[in-house]
Each structure stands twice: as structure tokens, then as C-alpha cells.
Structure 1
């Protein structure tokens, strides 16, 4: 009888041991996003081009990530992410782009925060995409285009040879510090950022200094951003300044936008952005669109943009496309 009574206890202990072993095991997952569209692209003062393109709303990518429980609340982690151009099957955002250009790092995380080393996405890019209606769209977000493709900020959206620390969330506030070593290729890069989110309100502030790269202009950038939701409508605002020490030209950047959730699946998008350089042509960009989710992983969109540069004829672009996440 005693031996029979011990059997359930032994079985429970065995299950607890197996559960503990499973919790300590590492996990690895594959994921990504494919964005394809057809439409028309036109830069100010240039001819229009009809095209099938990849990544107009979100740059297509795929990745691998993993995590291992080291015990006592400490985790080891890694991320490897590669951009891709699905219209041609080519890797990277452009010819010559490094293969793991999105993120490529290893790190440690516990209740004191997360530390990663390798190639990390910059805080300025993350804040810029969070506080505008078109997210990280290089095709149609005035904010993304003005900071990262219009000759203002330098240093790319990710820094190689970098160390990044992200604090735990404290009362809705998160701090980030990041640096990229020069390694004999000019000076180093540095960045500090803070983000606050509670309920319908979100605020952000980022400062970065780029000196790394013998052929890269030295720039200092700061940006303040905020958003607030009024029921189904979320409003966005950004204001920033870029000081290009190499050329001696300063830029002031202003962005305003709104996303209106018309139905549970569909949202109307509106964003305006302007670059005012100390000298040279002013740039104003207007984008409108509609995004509709067919499921949690798949959405379709229709967007249009007017891009105006002082002294040049306007460029008009539009796209109809779909995104699928896996």
C-alpha cells in the first residue's frame, strides 16, 4: 500500500523535473514580412516610373531569433535579420548592402534591462517609425524619407560594431543608450533616448551623434515626438533638427499625421512632413492611404504621395499592395 501511494508523488516529481528542464531549454524561431505592390514612383523634377516593387510600406525581411534561460531571471538571446527585394529575389535593400543589415546581435537580458552587441537598429529610426501614421515606410512615410533618404541625418538606420542598452519599463518610461566604436574608421557614434507610454499618450525624445565613417558626414540629430489617441483617431507629431558639421548646413524637420480606425480592420492614414534647410530648397511631402487587414498576418493597402521640392516640379507616387507576416 505504501509503495502504491508513493507512485503519484514520484510521477508528480518527474513531471516537475521535465517541466523545469523544458523551461531551461533554448528556443529558436523564424519570422519575417513580405511586402509587394504595383504603382507609380516619381521624384520631384524627374520622370514617372511604373513599377512592381518590394517594400514600399515596410521593407521586406526575414529573420531568426533565439533565447535561452540561464536561470535566476537571466536570459541569453540572439537576432539575425536580413532585408530582401522580392520583386527581383535579391538580398538586401540595395546592391552592396550587407546580408544581416537589419539586426545582427547577441545579448543578455534580466530585470535590470537588455544589453546587445553587434549591429543594432538605432533609437532615432525606432522613434521616427513609432510616431507617424505610415510607420517604417521608406516609400510613403514623409518622416522616414526626410530623416533617412533626403541627405539630412547620416549613419543609416542600424549601426555596426555597436553596444545597445535598453532599460526595463518603469512607470511607462524606457531609456536607451547606444554607441558604435569607430574601429579606425573615423570617430564613434553615440545615442541617448527616452520613451514614455501610458494609456492614450506616448512621448519620445532622441539624440544621436554620428562621426563614424571616413566618407560619412558628421551629423548631430535630436528629435522630440508625441502621439495621442482620441477614440478611433491617433494624432502624431515630430519636431527635430539635424546639424551637419561636414557641410555646415542645419535642417529643421516638422511632421504631423493621423491614423483613423474606420472599422476594426481598416484605417485611413494621413501624414505631412517638411524639411527647412538653413540654405537650399525646402521640401514638403504629403501622403494619404488606406490600410485594411484581411487577417492578423495579412493586410492590403492603397497609398498616394505628393513630394514637393522648391524650384522643381512635384513628384506624384501611388501604390496598391499587400503585406504578409510569417
Structure 2
């Protein structure tokens, strides 16, 4: 005679078993909701532009909302996904700017295990990751000299002739992204994306190597770009565009009393007129007590080819942690560009992670 397993258990025992099963299933998969809201107020001025008194979103870190999760597939494998959208906290608008795509920060699905991680969709390219890791202001599009001189396409009145930002944006779409497991302090990342027609000539591909070993850290990153992204520079700005290549070296050393940063790299755009841009940055982070840090970064970006331009940006700041999730900051930035008046920015801000 057949007896179901449920029928052989008392109701209380069966309920307890169901609860345990639900707990086990929950332990095998998870979904997280997280994000960051960054607001600052003050005087904002790029080189060659008027002074603006404003309240702005996302200058130290771009405000965003994210959803991510994993599922245990067994055998040491897990499935992953990430959906992350930028937003403008000052207006409630979506994206980083008007025509931005909705899931601009990330939209990918993948698998991870002892072999590393493999994702498909939209994610940050390796060069962008290296750039934000080796300067004291991280991924700040508003204040970091490194991010501004490599990626920010809104640097002031001189941008039409200066054109330093990379083509391809700080996020790559239609891509496959592979990250190796860590070997001691060493790891690497590779990204390949499809051009998919239109004005895009072909694929993008890039890679980086990262080393974190005690107080010393370093990176080498490279990319080849033929396809546009929704942000950053546009390949149509270069008549006869064929491709763009960029490489970067970065390093940092933490002495305890101060952490030093350095970066050097080059962007070469192959077009009717070859445009070569050399970027360099030095920076420092000095702890103040248990909760604060003085931040300083100086960057130079020199454009060669056609109309030569030199951009010099100095940013000084103080960041104070009110908790593990909330910090206050004050910033001063001087932005200089050949042939244009100096821009001076003063701002105070509040950043909250959740």
C-alpha cells in the first residue's frame, strides 16, 4: 500500500518540516535592493563657463538604485543578475542626463563559480574600473580629475575642441564580461561587446589586470573601441573615425598616515586627423581621526593633434563619515583649460548608501 510522506507526519511535524525546507530554499537564493543618493549644493563652474549656484545630484557618486541576486545551482555554481538604474535626486529624473538609457549602470545576467564569473548584458568596462580604483575621489564624475579627463563629456566650453573623454561610455552594452578568480592578490577582467550596426563600425574589447597585495596595489588596463555608448564622447565627433585605443597604468601605496595614488595613460583616436590625448593624475588620502579623510587629486590632460589643448584640474576635499552608510563632504575644484577662463567650484554635500 502506498502512503504519502505527508500522511505519515503529524500536522505539527509537517509544518516544521515545511518551515525548514523554506529556510533551505531561501539560503540557496537571494535578492538585494540597494543604492546610493548623493546631493551637493554650491557654486559649480567648468573652465570657460559661467558660475552657477545649484543643488545637484551625483557629483561625488552618481545616485542610483539597484537590484541584484544569486541562486545556488549546486556543484559550486551560482546564477547571478544585476539591474541598476541611475537617477537625478535633485529633479527626480531618470538616468545621468536627458537621453540616458534606464538601466545604464548595469543590466546583466551571468554564472559564477571556481572558474570566475561570466556575465552578459551591460556592465562597466575594465578600464573604467581601473580608473575609479586608483584615484582618491573614486567614480566621481563631478569632482575627480581622473574621471573627468577620461570619461566626463561635460567639462566646459572648450569640450568641442578638446574632446578628451573616451568613446564608448563608462558602461558597455551588448557585451560579454569575464572575471578571473583571485590568485593571491592578482585578478583580471576581459570584456567584448558587439557593434550591432548603425554608426558603430564594429566591436569593443578591453581588459585589465589588478593586483592588491598589502599596502601596494596596481593595475594595467587597455581597450579598443569602435562602438558608441549612450554617454561619453561620440565617434561622430571625429571625421573619418576608424577606431580608438586607450591604455592606463595605475598604482597606490598605503603608508597608514597617507595613501598615495598615481595614474598615467593615453587615448589615441584613429581618424582623418589622428588625435592623441595623454592623461596623468597624482592624489592622496589622509585619514583624520577614525571618521574623516582629507582628499587631494591633481590631473593633467594634454590633447595633441589639430588644436592642442591642456586641461589642468585640482580637487581638494574633506569627507566625514557620520555612520557606515552616511557621509558629509566639502569640495573645492579648480578647472583650467587652454584659451578659457578658470572654473572654480565650491560645494558641500551629503551621501547616503542603503
TM-score range (shorter-chain normalised) is: over 0.9
Please state whether the residue corresponding to 2:309 is helix, strand or coil.
Answer: coil
Normalization by structure 1: what TM-score? 0.93
> Which residue matches 2:320?
292
1:304 equivalent in alignment to 2:304: no
Q: Structure 1 residues 23, 88: closer, same or farther in 2, change over 3 A?
A: closer
Paired with 1:220 and 1:102, the residues of 2 have a C-alpha distance of 23
> How far, CA to CA, are the matches of 1:23 and 1:198 in structure 2?
35
Structure 2's unaligned 5+ residue stretches are: 1-12, 154-162, 229-234
Question: Bigger shift: 143-152 or 313-322?
Answer: 143-152
Taking the TM superposition and a 5 Å limit, the aligned residue runs for 1:173-252 are 173-184=186-197, 185-213=200-228, 215=236, 218-246=243-271, 247-252=273-278
- Shift in Å, 1:250: 0.4
Residue of structure 2 equivalent to 1:3: none
Change (3 A) 1:16 1:86: closer
For 1:87 and 1:212, the matched residues in 2 are separated by 31
**Structure-2-length-normalised TM-score:** 0.86
Q: Is the 8 A contact 2:79 2:111 kept in 1?
A: yes
For residues 170 and 302 of structure 1, the distance between their equivalents in structure 2, rounded to whole angstroms, comes to 38
Provide runs of 4+ in structure 1 moved above 4 Å. Answer: 13-17
Q: Does 1:105 align with 2:116?
A: no
Cα distance, 1:235 vs structure 2:
0.2
Equivalent in the alignment of 2:347 = 319
Which residue is 1:82 aligned to?
85
Report if the CA contact (8 A) 1:23-1:69 is conserved.
no
Q: What's the CA shift for 1:21?
A: 3.0
Q: Answer yes or no: is the 8 Å Cα contact 1:180–1:190 preserved in 2.
A: yes
Question: 1:43-82 counterparts in 2 under 5 A?
Answer: 43-82=46-85
Give the deviation of 1:16 after TM superposition.
12
In structure 1, C-alpha distance between the alignment counterparts of 2:310 and 2:343, rounded to whole Å: 14
Matches of 2:225 and 2:50, distance apart in 1: 34
SS in 2 for 1:31: strand
Distance 1:230 1:19, change over 3 A: farther
| Aligned counterpart, 2:138 | 135
Residue equivalent to 2:129? 126
Contact in 1 for aligned 2:127/2:207 (Cα 8 Å): no
Deviation at 1:175, TM superposition (A): 0.8
Q: Distance in 2 between matches of 1:30 and 1:157?
A: 22
SS at match of 2:252: strand
- The 1:301–1:250 alpha-carbon spacing in structure 2 relative to 1, beyond 3 Å, is same
Other-structure match for 1:277 = 303
Segments of 5+ residues of structure 1 without an aligned counterpart are: 1-9
Partner SS, residue 128 of structure 2: helix
CA distance in 2 between counterparts of 1:20 and 1:224 reads 47
Name the stretch that deviates more: 278-287 or 94-103. Answer: 278-287
Q: Distance in 2 between matches of 1:243 and 1:172?
A: 31
8 Å contact from structure 1 (residues 232, 262) kept in 2: no
RMSD of the TM alignment (CA)?
1.9
Contact 1:57 1:136 in 2 (8 A): yes
Take 2:22 and 2:98, find their aligned partners in 1: how far apart are those partners? Answer: 47
Contact 1:82 1:101 in 2 (8 A): yes
- In 2, Cα distance between the equivalents of 1:35 and 1:18? 41
